[in-house]
Amino acid sequence: MSKSFPDIEQRLREFHRSGAPTSPTATIHDLQPISGGWENEVYSFTLVHDASAGPAGEELILRIYPGSDAARKSTREFDAMRRLYDVGFPVPRMLWLELDPSWLGRPFVIMEKIPGRSADALFEAASAERRQELLSLFCRMLVDLHALDWRSVITDDSLPGADTPTLIRRELIRGREYCHSLGQHAFDPIFEWLEERLPQLRGTEPCLAHGDFHGDNILIRDDGAPFVIDWGNIRVSDRRADLAWTLLLSSTYGHPDMREQILREYERIAGCRMEDLEFFDAAACVRRLFSICGSLDQGADQLGMRPGSEALMRNASHIRGVYDLLLEGTGIRIPRIDTLLAGLA
């Protein structure tokens, strides 16, 4: 259960006075919720180290992690973002990881706040020429991420060095087992479709995958510098898996033409075509539809998402767009999705 804003503010004050390496006279000002997504609770606040020096202080972000896996997820994101920052990839500077739930009830991180607007917000208000510039910047950042040496960011000796089919097979097995653990068997025909085609999948070199790369997770600072946020799903995978997720989200939230635009620009910058993308499209659709069905059936908090985010998932247009892509690629109907859409009509 989420704490109230005043309670979070008070506990955050206590944390900065006795739990964090800041001045005992540090004060918290203007705590505001800013998250509109499915997963973490996110707040902005100002930390003033010495009240006698005036109102100026550090503009910071607080991210609180829900779910039973919160400690692992927060640690993984904090460590990955620190390493990304160290190798020069544009991410906010991470300041503090706190795993002790006695402060805010759950693990949390504190990082610098990037003053600016999301790439999506800028895109909506931009001219045609500026939109093309933003599209190119967006794709360039994704290509640059995939070109990084993943070993400089993720330290996991169990990962193979040059075999993406092995990674994808592992993801499919874990995904299917997770679905079953929550009583979700409706997607078995899609998992079987994917498993049948896996042996023919062309391999690529493993890369860093953001896991949720879309315009709301790109912040453009007031001086024009871009930053990538929300790394809770970072992993080593196939870049086509990361790209397919981006294409899915970008094209099913009101801009169906964005799929082709992003794909062609990504391929242009990367200098190669993305083969076998229909496989990764289907995998992305399953991931999205399962997240929606599992959250509506079990509660979002059971899937490690922000409590109460179920209301955001009842988006018939988005669900229909994802389902249509799945049907186009596989021809397999999912009765659970048909029933869900009928109830949202």
117 exposed, middle or buried (CB, 10 Å; 0-12, 13-18, 19+)? middle
Instruction: Identify whether residues 56 and 178 lie together within a single domain.
Output: no
Which CATH number do you get for residue 35? Answer: 3.30.200.20
pLDDT(120) > 50:
yes
The C-alpha atoms of residue 63 and residue 71 are separated, in whole angstroms, by: 12
pLDDT for residue 7: 86
Indicate left, alpha or beta for 88 from its phi (over 0: left) and psi (-120 to 50: alpha).
Answer: left
Instruction: Identify whether residues 226 and 302 lie together within a single domain.
Output: yes
Which stretch, 38-47, 296-305, 331-340, has highest mean pLDDT? 331-340
pLDDT for residue 9: 86
Instruction: Identify whether residues 309 and 190 lie together within a single domain.
Output: yes
Instruction: Identify whether residues 92 and 135 lie together within a single domain.
Output: no
pLDDT for residue 26: 74
Instruction: Identify whether residues 106 and 180 lie together within a single domain.
Output: no
pLDDT for residue 261: 97
125: phi then psi, degrees, rounded to nearest 5 = -100, 5
Q: Among 126-135, 189-198, 287-296, name the one with the lowest average pLDDT.
A: 287-296
Instruction: Identify whether residues 314 and 188 lie together within a single domain.
Output: yes
pLDDT for residue 45: 92
Q: Considering 64, 80, 113, which residue would you say is the last residue of a domain?
A: 113
Name the residue with tokens 């510098």. 225
Give the model confidence (pLDDT) of 33-80 as tens digits.
986 566 788 999 998 876 555 556 889 999 999 888 899 999 999 999
Instruction: Identify whether residues 312 and 206 lie together within a single domain.
Output: yes
pLDDT for residue 294: 79
**What is the extent of the structural domain holding 228?**
117-344
Other beta carbons within 10 angstroms of residue 139's beta carbon come to 22
pTM summary value: 0.90
* pLDDT band at 1; cut points 50, 70, 90: very low
| Whole-number average pLDDT of the chain | 88
Instruction: Identify whether residues 19 and 138 lie together within a single domain.
Output: no
Instruction: Identify whether residues 48 and 126 lie together within a single domain.
Output: no
pLDDT(338) > 80:
yes
pLDDT(293) > 50:
yes
Instruction: Identify whether residues 88 and 122 lie together within a single domain.
Output: no
Q: Considering 62, 81, 113, which residue would you say is the last residue of a domain?
A: 113
pLDDT for residue 217: 95
The C-alpha atoms of residue 279 and residue 194 are separated, in whole angstroms, by: 7
Q: Considering 113, 140, 169, which residue would you say is the last residue of a domain?
A: 113
pLDDT(271) > 90:
yes
Question: How do 108-112 and 94-98 pair as beta strands?
Answer: antiparallel
Who has greater pLDDT, 330 or 24? Answer: 330
Provide mean pLDDT across the span 265-294: 95
Number of folded domains in the chain? 2
Give the model confidence (pLDDT) of 206-247 as tens digits.
999 999 999 999 999 999 999 999 999 999 999 999 999 999
Give the model confidence (pLDDT) of 133-147 as tens digits.
999 999 999 999 999
* pLDDT band at 19; cut points 50, 70, 90: low
